Amino acid sequence: MNVFDRLESSVCSYARSFPVTFGKAQGATLWDTRGRAYIDFLAGAGTLNYGHNHPLLKEALVEYIAGDGIAHGLDFHTEAKETFLESLDARIFAPRGLHYVVQFTGPTGTNAVEAALKIARNVTGRQNVVAFTNGFHGVSLGAAAATGNDLHRSAAGFPLLGVTRALFDAYLGPDIDTIDVLDRLLEDRSSGVDAPAAAIVETVQGEGGLNVASARWLQRLESLCRRHGMLLIVDDIQAGCGRTGTFFSFERIGISPDIVTLSKSLSGYGLPLAVVLMKPEFDQWKPGEHNGTFRGNNHAFVTARAALEHFWRDDALTREVDRKAELLADGFAHIAARHEGVVVKGRGMMQGLAFGSGALAETVARQAFSRGLVIETSGAEGQVLKCLCPLVIDDAELTRALEIIERATQVALEVPERLPNPERPLKKVG
Amino acid sequence: MNVFDRLESSVCSYARSFPVTFGKAQGATLWDTRGRAYIDFLAGAGTLNYGHNHPLLKEALVEYIAGDGIAHGLDFHTEAKETFLESLDARIFAPRGLHYVVQFTGPTGTNAVEAALKIARNVTGRQNVVAFTNGFHGVSLGAAAATGNDLHRSAAGFPLLGVTRALFDAYLGPDIDTIDVLDRLLEDRSSGVDAPAAAIVETVQGEGGLNVASARWLQRLESLCRRHGMLLIVDDIQAGCGRTGTFFSFERIGISPDIVTLSKSLSGYGLPLAVVLMKPEFDQWKPGEHNGTFRGNNHAFVTARAALEHFWRDDALTREVDRKAELLADGFAHIAARHEGVVVKGRGMMQGLAFGSGALAETVARQAFSRGLVIETSGAEGQVLKCLCPLVIDDAELTRALEIIERATQVALEVPERLPNPERPLKKVG
Amino acid sequence: MNVFDRLESSVCSYARSFPVTFGKAQGATLWDTRGRAYIDFLAGAGTLNYGHNHPLLKEALVEYIAGDGIAHGLDFHTEAKETFLESLDARIFAPRGLHYVVQFTGPTGTNAVEAALKIARNVTGRQNVVAFTNGFHGVSLGAAAATGNDLHRSAAGFPLLGVTRALFDAYLGPDIDTIDVLDRLLEDRSSGVDAPAAAIVETVQGEGGLNVASARWLQRLESLCRRHGMLLIVDDIQAGCGRTGTFFSFERIGISPDIVTLSKSLSGYGLPLAVVLMKPEFDQWKPGEHNGTFRGNNHAFVTARAALEHFWRDDALTREVDRKAELLADGFAHIAARHEGVVVKGRGMMQGLAFGSGALAETVARQAFSRGLVIETSGAEGQVLKCLCPLVIDDAELTRALEIIERATQVALEVPERLPNPERPLKKVG
Amino acid sequence: MNVFDRLESSVCSYARSFPVTFGKAQGATLWDTRGRAYIDFLAGAGTLNYGHNHPLLKEALVEYIAGDGIAHGLDFHTEAKETFLESLDARIFAPRGLHYVVQFTGPTGTNAVEAALKIARNVTGRQNVVAFTNGFHGVSLGAAAATGNDLHRSAAGFPLLGVTRALFDAYLGPDIDTIDVLDRLLEDRSSGVDAPAAAIVETVQGEGGLNVASARWLQRLESLCRRHGMLLIVDDIQAGCGRTGTFFSFERIGISPDIVTLSKSLSGYGLPLAVVLMKPEFDQWKPGEHNGTFRGNNHAFVTARAALEHFWRDDALTREVDRKAELLADGFAHIAARHEGVVVKGRGMMQGLAFGSGALAETVARQAFSRGLVIETSGAEGQVLKCLCPLVIDDAELTRALEIIERATQVALEVPERLPNPERPLKKVG
C-alpha cells in the first residue's frame, strides 16, 4: 500500500480526481512523476494566476533564501514586508486611487474572511452578516457560516450561526432583482432579519458555479449597504489578482468595498498569503486581537512583490486577460452551440460550461484528464466545468485545452451516463 | 510616514514591542536592517525550533525550487508530500509505535484545531467540547471558542459557543485535582454540562503562561475521556516538534491522544504547515468536507522532510534539548532566587519567569531588547517572560541570553514601575 | 403617585394606550372603574372569542370552584382534564377526522411554540426551522427566534438562533409565489439553507398585520414540507378557536398540519391554557422532558370544556362568524373606499384597516378609544388597525363599533399628524 | 382505552407515578374519583403553599367571578391588579424595606426567568450568564440553558447557549468554597469565562435535590456579583412565598438580589401567575418588548391578594413554618438515624431524605403512595424524596405523613431492589 493510502486522510478530494503523483511544474504545465505532462486548467484552484514557478518570481525567491532573508516573521516589520507594501501601494492602490489599510492574517483565505467578519461586527456592533446563496468563503467555523455548500456546512458538527442567507444575482431568474428582496427584508421592522453588520459577496462565485454578479446588482448591493449601515465586504480571494482582467474583480464595476479579502494568487507563486484590506476608518483593531503564527510568511512577500512589480506596472496583463477571456468565451460558446443544455458561464478567465448534471460534468472532466488536461467542476451539484488556467498560458496551450474539452464533451454526451451518477457528487474546492 | 505606519493595520503587536525592521536571520540570530544582531528567544513564537534558515533545510528548499518542484499542490499527491509522509512515518510514527492518519489542513494552527473539533463532533455526534482555562488554540471562530484569552474572545464580535471551560492542572492550587471537578460534573446528570465530544488540551500552555500539566493529571484526563466517551485532543502546536525534548510533548507521559494537532515548527523553516493526526478509526471525513487552498504547501513538505531526516533519525536532539532545558532551568532559578516573587515556570525549552505583574514582565522584556535579546511575555496579564529560543541555539548564546535576562530583571526590579502600568497589557501571541 | 406608576414596570404597553383602570366586563363590553363602558375590539388580543365572562362558562367555573374541584394539577389525571379531553375529541377531532395527541404545556402560547419546535427538532434530528416574515410566535428565546418583530428580537440580548427566515405569502407582491423561492433554496445543495426540521406558520398573521396566507400557498407549503422531510407546524394561537369561522383556521384549506399550537381562546374564559396537538407518530416525548408548573390549570379545563360543548356541538358559531365577517368586511370596505391609501386586510373576524403609517393608525385607535372603543394596531409599523372583537358580539355593538372606526378615521385623516409621529411606534402584542 | 391513553402525550410524568384520577382537594388532602384520600406532600410541586382551595381565597375568587370581574386583562390597569400591587407593597415590600418594580410576565416560571435573563443582558450589555450545577429554571430555550438537568437539556434539540456553569455551594465538598473557584475564573483574563451579565441562583435547589446554599456562600456570591458588575438574580419560584419560613427565601441571609423571580405559590390558589421583581434602576424595558397573552390573569391577582392579606399581615405564618420545619427535620432525622446511607436534606418546609439511589427513593415514593401519601423525588438521579407539603398542613397530617414515609422507607430498604432499577429514572419536575 502506498504511503498516501496508508497515511493520508480520506478527506482528500483532488487526489481522487487526478490519481497520479505530480512532481514538477512550469507555467501552465504539470508533470507527473512518470514524466507525463498535463495542461493545468485548475491552477491551484485559482492560486497560480502567473503560472507555476514563474522564472522571475523564482529568481527573487531563491535569491532571498540564499541571502538568509527572514522566512518567518510573525508581524515584525521586515524588509520583505516593507517592499511588498510599497509595491502594493505603488502598483495597486495608488493608480486606482484606493486607500486601504492592510492586515496580514493567518495565510489562508478562510482566516482573512474570519478577520473581515470580526471587523464588521466590531465596527458596527451588530452580529448578523448577510452572505449569498452558493457563496464560498472557507470552512473554519465563522467563515463556514457564510459558505453555502452543505457538504462543508454539515461537516461543522455544530450549527453555523450569525449569517442571514440572501439571494445572489439572478437566483430567481432574470425578472427579479434580488437586491429588492433583501432591501424589503431590511426595511421591514418585523421581517425577522436582524440588522446586518455587513454583506459578504464574491463578484463571480467560483466554487458556487461561476455565477456572475452583474455590475448593476453589485452597485445596488453597495447602495443597499450604505443605506442600512452595513459594510460591504468583497471576497476577492478567487476572482481577484487579475483573474477577471483587472487586479480587483470589481474595478470596472465602480463600487468601493469597505473591506476586501485577498489570498490565493496574491503571492504569485502559490505560497500561503492572505490579507484583509479595509478602509482606514474601520481599522479599529487592538494590537494582537486577531493573530496567527504564519501571518508573516516572508517568502510570500518576496514573490508577491515580484509579481506586482512585473505584472502590474502597466495594463499589459489586463489586456492579455481580456483577449484570452474572449478566446475562452468563443471556445466554450462553440462547444455549447453544439450540445443542447450546455451553457457558458463566468467572466474573464474564470469561465466554464454548465452541464445538465454533476455526473455529466464529472465525465467530461475525467475524459479531459485522460487526454492530458487537469480541470475541475464546481457548483452545487458539481455541474459546472470550470476553467481556472494560468493567466499567462500561451495561446497554443489554450487552444489545445479547448480542443480537449470539446472532445471530452463530445465523448461524454455521446455515451451518456457511462459513469454511475453518484448519489452525492464529490465537491472539490480549493 | 513609513509604509508600515501608512498601510499596516493597528492589529500588529510584536512590531510594537520590537520597533525595528528585521532583514536577515541565521540560527538563533536576527539582524535588523541597520545590521544590529539580536539573540532570538521568541523564534517565531515557537515556530523556529531548528533556528532560522537552517543550512541543510535551506539547501533542500533551494534545490527543490530550482528544479521547478511543485510549489502549490492543493491536496494532490506530489513527490514532496510523498517523501514527507514517508519520513514522518519512518522517523516519528514507527519508532514510537504510533498509528495515525494525517490530514493536511489549511497551513495554520487554528485551521488544524477547527478540523480536529469537527472530527470529534462528527465522530461522537456530540456538540460540546471541553477546553481549559488559559488555553490558546487560535482565533478563527471555532478555535477561538476553545481559547481562553479575553482579548481574542471579545474580538469575535459574536458569542463563542460549543465549549465548556474546565480547570487546567493546578488551577485551584496543589491540593485540588481539577480532573475530579470535571469528572464530578460529567458524572452528574444535572450538572448542566452536556456530554462532550472531546477535551482539547495543551500539555504546556505556552500563551497561557507556561503552565505545565503534570503527567498524572494528563493520564487522569485521558482516563476520564475514555470513561465518558470523549476524544482526547492534544494541541501540540507550540509544545510539539521537540520543544519539550521529545518530538511530541506527551511521549514521556504515556498517554495516547486520539487526535493531535501540529503546526509551527513542523516545516522546520518557519513555512506555513499544519496537520491533524488522528487514529484511523476517527478518519471519517468525506472527500473535500474540510478543505483549504494552501493545504498542499510543498515547500513546507520539503523542509519538513529535511528536518525530520536530519533531526529525528536518532535521539541526539532530545538529549540536547534535555541538557539545555537544565541550563535554562538553572539560569532562571538563579534569577528567581535573587528576586522575591519571581518564579520559574514551564518545562523543556519552554521555560520562563513569572513576575508579579504584566507591567513588570514587560519592563524586563524591553530592557532585554535594548540589550539585544528578543523575548516576549505570555500569560493572562502578560506576566510571564517566556523563552522559546531555537532548540539548536549554541551554549554561548544561551548563556549570553540568560545574562541579559538577569540584568534586565535587575534593572526592572530596582526601578519599579518605571513604565506606566498599562490598564490592559498588550498580549502578543504567535 | 398611583400604584401602577410606583410599582409596575415600564414594559407595559396596552395600559399606555388605554389609560384607565378596568373593573368589570361582560360579553363585548368593558367597564372602567368610573363606570364608563367600552366596546372591546381587542378581546384580550384574541383571547376572548366567546366574550368576557360568558354566563355558561362562568356557571361551570363557579360550580367547580365551589365544589373544591382541583385547581392545580400538574400533569395529573383529573376529572376536569378528562372531560375536557373527551369534549375535545367529540366536538373537534372526531367530526373533522383528526387524529392528534394532546400535550399540555405551560399555559402560554410561547411555551406551546417552544414545545412544538423541540418536537420537530427531535423527531427529524435537524436543528434549523423555517419561520416567516412578520410571524409572531412568542418571546421566550426559542420562540422569539421564530418571531419577526425586531422590538421583541432585540430585547433578547442574545442572538436568536436556529431559524431561517422565509417569505410569507405575497411578501414580494402578487406575481411571485414565495413557496418557489423557499423550494429553490431547499433544493439547492449550496444555497446555505440547512435542511429544516419544520416550517412554522400562521395562516393569518395577527401581530404581523393581518396578512392572510392563501389556500394555495398553504397547500404548496404543506407539499414542500412533505417533499423536504419537514414537519408543518400551524401556530393557530390567534387565528384558531373559531376566529376565522371554523375551529381551526386551516380547515377549509385542506391541509393537514403535523403539529398545531393552540392557546388564547382555548379556555374560552381568558384563563391561561395552551396545548400542542401532534400527529401520534411524532409523540416521541420521554416523560417529563418538557414540563411546567401550570400545565394542569384545571379551571381552564372546566371553562374550555364548557365552551367546546356549548359552541362547537354544531356549526352555528361558524355560520355566525361567517356572517359577521361579511359585516366587518363591508364596513371596512366602506371606510376604505372613502379614504385613499386605506386598505382592508385579514379574514374572518380577524380583519382590519391598513393605513399609510403607524402614526395614522395610532391616531385612529386613540380617537376610537375616546369614543368608547378599545381597539389596537398591529403590523411592522403598527400601521394596521385590527379588529379582534368577541365572535359573540351582537350586531348592534358591531355596527356601533364600525361607526366609531369610521368617525375616528375621518378625524384622523382630516387632521393629519395631529399626533407626533413617534420615531418608533410602540408595538402592542398579546 | 381511556381518554388519557388515547389522547394525551407520553410527556406526562406525574400521572405515571400516581396512576389515579384526582377530582377534589382541600387543604393538604387530595381525593381521587373513587373517593380515596391522599395527603399531598407534593402540593403542585410547591405551588400550593396555602393548601388546596383555601376557603378565604376561594371566597374572594368566587365573589370576583360572580361579579363579572375582568378575568383576562393583558397588561391593562385593572382593579384586581391594583389591589394586588397595593397588598404586595404593603404586606411584603414595605415591611422588608424593599424597593422593587414588578413585571408581570407570561404566568409561568420559565417565562419570568426568560424575562430576568433579558433584563440582565440588556442592562449590562453582556451575553453570558452564570447558572449553577443542579439548578432548575425552566425549559423554554433561554431558561433551559440555565437548567442543569440533562433530560430537559437534551430535549431542546438545539445547543443551549449563553450560560456558564458554576459550582453550587458545597458541590466539591465542605472544604472548597466554590465562590472562590468562580471568582478565580472571573478575575482571570484568560480563563475563557466571558464576563457575565448575571448569576442566577436558587437558595434551595428544589428540583436539584434540596441542596441548600449557606448564608455565607450566598453573601459571597452577592459580593462577587457586585465586584464583577453582574446582577444577582434569585430564582425564588419554588423556595419563595414562605416555603422556607420567610416570604422570600433570602430574607434571613441578608442579601439584596437585583432581580427576583416569583411564581408557583404566588397566586395562593395554584393559578398561573409569575412576576419579575427588579430594582428600579434595572427597569429599562421599552413598552411591549417582553409580552405574553396571559400576563394579566386577574383571577390570580384576586387570590394572590387574598393570600397576602391573610397570611402576610403578620409573622404568624413564618413562626408556623419554622415550627413545622423542625417537626419535619426531627421526623426525617429519626428515619435517617435508623437507615444507613439515608441523609436529611433541605431547609424550612422544603426538606427530604437522600437515598443511595434513584431506584430506592422511587420505591419509597411508591410505597408511600400505596399508603395514601403523594410524594415525589428530585435530584440528578431522582434520589431525594422531597417534602413540599402545604405550609398550612395540620400537625396530625404531618405526623401521619412522616409515619408513612418511615414505614415506606423501612419496606423499601428491607426488600431492596424490588423494583427494577430503571436505566434512566424518570424525573418529575413541576
The residue among A42, A140, A69, A52 whose CA lies nearest residue A392 is A52
Q: CA–CA separation, C307 vs C392, rounded Å?
A: 12
Chain-chain contact of B148 with D184 (C-beta, under 8 angstroms): no
Rounded (10°) angle between helices C298-311 and C55-66: 140
pLDDT tens digits, B353-383: 999 999 999 999 999 999 999 999 999 999 9
The mean per-residue pLDDT over the stretch B390-416 comes to 93
> B2, B7, B11: which to substitute to probe chain A, counting the most A Cβ within 10 Å?
B11
**Which residue from A149, A172, A194 is facing C189, i.e. has the nearest CB?**
A149
Cα(B264)–Cα(B247) distance, integer angstroms: 13
Fold classification of D59-311 is: Aspartate Aminotransferase; domain 2 (3.40.640)
CA nearest neighbour of B138 among B103, B112, B101, B102? B112
Q: Do C108 and D103 touch (CB under 8 A)?
A: no
Running DSSP on this structure, what letter comes out for residue B295?
A: T
Contact state of B157 with A85 under an 8 Å Cβ cutoff? no
Is B426's pLDDT higher than 70?
no
Query: Cα torsion for C387, C388, C390, C396, to the nearest 10°?
Result: 0
What does the pLDDT look like over B33-89, one tens digit per residue?
999 999 999 999 999 999 999 999 999 999 999 999 999 999 999 999 999 999 999
Contact D151 B381 (CB under 8 A): no
Q: What does the mean pLDDT of chain C come to?
A: 95
Provide, as residue numbers in chain A, all residues whose Cβ is less than 8 Å from the Cβ of C185: 133, 165
C-alpha R_g of chain B: 21
pLDDT tens for B267-276 read 999 999 999 9
Q: A202 to chain C: which residues are within 8 Å by CB?
A: none
Where residue A347 falls (left for φ over 0; alpha for ψ -120 to 50; beta otherwise) is beta
A159 interaction partners in chain D (CB closer than 8 Å):
158-159
* Test mutation, D294, D423, D424, chain C, max C CBs within 10 A: D294
Mean pLDDT for the stretch of residues C191-203: 98
Cβ-based neighbours of D236, under 8 Å, separated by 6 or more = D202, D203, D248, D249, D250, D260, D261, D262
Chain A residue numbers touching D159 (CB-CB < 8 A):
158-159
C-alpha D341: how far from its chain's center?
26
Report CB contact under 8 Å: B158, C159: yes
pLDDT in tens, chain D (430 residues): 899 999 999 999 999 999 999 999 999 999 999 999 999 999 999 999 999 999 999 999 999 999 999 999 999 999 999 999 999 999 999 999 999 999 999 999 999 999 999 999 999 999 999 999 999 999 999 999 999 999 999 999 999 999 999 999 999 999 999 999 999 999 999 999 999 999 999 999 999 999 999 999 999 999 999 999 999 999 999 999 999 999 999 999 999 999 999 999 999 999 999 999 999 999 999 999 999 999 999 999 999 999 999 999 999 999 999 999 999 999 999 999 999 999 999 999 999 999 999 999 999 999 999 999 999 999 999 999 999 999 999 999 999 999 999 999 999 998 644 444 443 343 444 4
Q: How far apart are CA B216 and CA C378, in angstroms?
A: 64
pLDDT number for residue A415: 62
Number of A–B residue contacts, CB under 8 Å: 399
Cα–Cα dist B345/B357, whole Å: 15
Task: Show Cβ contacts of residue C331 under 8 Å, excluding neighbours closer than 6 positions.
Answer: C398, C399, C402, C405, C406
pLDDT of the residue at D424: 38
Neighbours of chain D (3+ CB pairs under 8 A): A, B, C
Please judge whether D158 and A158 are an interchain contact, meaning their C-beta atoms are less than 8 angstroms apart: no
Answer yes or no: do D14 and C152 touch at CB < 8 A: no
Q: Which residue has the cell 479531459?
A: A368
Between D150, D171, D185, which is nearest B194 by CB?
A: D150
User: Which residues from D are below 8 Å from B185, CB to CB?
Assistant: 133, 165
Parallel/antiparallel/unpaired status of strands D259-262 and D231-235: parallel
Phi then psi for A199, rounded to 5 degrees?
-115, 135
- Nearest in space to B21 (alpha carbons), one of B40, B9, B4, B46: B4
Residue B417: is its pLDDT beyond 60?
A: no
pLDDT for the residue D415: 62
Q: Is the distance from CB of A374 to CB of A30 less than 8 angstroms?
A: yes
Query: A158–D159: do the CB atoms touch at under 8 Å?
Result: yes
Which chain A residues have a beta carbon less than 8 Å from that of C172? 176, 180-181, 184
Cell 520543544 locates to B243
User: Which parts of B60-153 are beta strand (E)?
Assistant: 77-78, 101-104, 128-132
Q: What is the pLDDT of residue C415?
A: 62
Cβ-based contacts of C26 with chain D (< 8 Å): 68
Would you say C279 and C427 are in contact if contact means Cβ atoms under 8 Å apart? no
In chain B, residues with a C-beta closer than 8 Å to the C-beta of A358 are: none
- Domain ranges, ordered by start, for chain D: 3-35+315-414, 59-311
Beta bridge partners of B345: B352
**CB-closest option in A135, A172, A176 to C192:** A135
Q: Name all chains with 3 or more CB-CB pairs below 8 Å to chain B.
A: A, C, D
Q: Inter-chain contact A9–B86, Cβ cutoff 8 Å?
A: no
Closest partner residue to C290 among D22, D155, D430, by Cβ? D155
pLDDT at B420: 44
Question: Which chains reach chain C with 3 or more Cβ–Cβ distances below 8 angstroms?
Answer: A, B, D
Comparing alpha-carbon positions, the chain C residue that sits nearest to D137 is: C292
CA distance B175 to chain A (A): 35
In chain B, % of residues over pLDDT 90: 96
pLDDT, tens digit (0-9, with 9 covering 90-100), for C53-102: 999 999 999 999 999 999 999 999 999 999 999 999 999 999 999 999 99
Q: What's the rounded mean pLDDT across residues B318-339?
A: 97
Say what the pLDDT of residue D418 is.
Answer: 44
Whole-angstrom CA distances from B127 to A280, B117, B358, C353, D164 are: 39, 9, 36, 48, 16
Which helix (H) or strand (E) segment holds residue D300: the answer is helix D298-311
User: Which residues of chain A neighbour D156 with C-beta distances below 8 Å?
Assistant: none
Nearest-by-Cβ selection for D150 from B127, B151, B189: B189
Distance from the Cα of C191 to chain A's closest Cα (Å) equals: 4
Whole-number Å distance between alpha carbons of D261 and D135: 14
Q: Considering CB atoms only, which of A74, A108, A428 is closest to B106?
A: A108
- Which chain B residue is nearest to residue A281, measuring alpha carbons? B9
Closest chain C residue by Cα to residue B125: C125
User: For A211-229, what is the mean pLDDT?
Assistant: 98
Looking at the partner chain, which of A148, A176, A207 has a beta carbon nearest the beta carbon of C191? A148
Residue B281: Cβ within 10 Å count? 10
Give D91's contacts (C-beta < 8 A, 6+ positions apart). Answer: D308, D309, D312, D313
Q: Is C70 within 8 Å of D121 when comparing Cβ atoms? A: no
- Cβ atoms of residues B98 and B250 within 8 Å: no
For B188, the closest of D151, D189, D380 (CB atoms) is: D380
- Sort out which chain D residues have CB atoms less than 8 A from A158's CB and list them: 159
D chain contacts of residue A121, beta-carbon cutoff 8 Å: none
Q: Which CATH superfamily is domain D3-35+315-414 in?
A: Aspartate Aminotransferase, domain 1 (3.90.1150.10)
CA nearest to D157 within chain A: A159
Question: Is the per-residue pLDDT at C360 higher than 80?
Answer: yes
Residue C425, pLDDT > 60, answer no
Grid coordinates representing A109 are 483565505
Q: Collect all residues of chain D within an 8 Å Cβ-Cβ radius of residue B184.
A: 171-172
Report the gap between the CA of B167 and the closest CA in chain C (Å). Answer: 26
Tens of pLDDT, residues A160-172? 999 999 999 999 9
Residues of chain C with C-beta less than 8 angstroms from the C-beta of A148: 188, 190-192
Distance from CA of D330 to the nearest CA of C (A): 29
pLDDT at B429: 41
Of C4, C88, C288, the CB nearest to D427: C288
Which residues of C fall below an 8 Å CB-CB distance to B? 158-159
Q: CA B133 → CA B165, B166, B386, D184, D230, distances in Å?
A: 6, 6, 19, 10, 21
Angle subtended at Cα A208 by Cα A203 and Cα A211, rounded to the nearest 5 degrees: 45
Q: CA–CA separation, B204 vs B201, rounded Å? A: 9
Q: What residues of chain B lie within 8 A of the CB of C158, using their CB? A: 159
In B247-406, at which residue ranges do the beta strands (DSSP E only) sit? Answer: 259-262, 275-278, 343-347, 350-354, 373-374, 376-378, 384-387
**Does B224 have pLDDT greater than 60?**
yes
Residue D200, SS3 per DSSP: strand
Q: Least CA distance to C179: which residue of chain A? A: A172
Q: Which residue is associated with the grid cell 533545510?
A: B57
Q: How far is CA C350 from CA A39, C28, C147, C390, D245, in A?
A: 68, 15, 19, 10, 49
> Between chains, do B122 and A4 touch, taking CB under 8 Å as contact?
no
Tens digits of per-residue pLDDT, A343-392? 999 999 999 999 999 999 999 999 999 999 999 999 999 999 999 999 99
Residue A253 has what DSSP assignment? G
Nearest Cα residue to C271 out of A309, D272, D156: D272
What whole-number distance in Å separates Cα of residue B347 and Cα of residue B350? 5
A392 in Cβ contact with A50 (< 8 Å): yes
Q: What confidence score (pLDDT) does residue B343 get?
A: 97
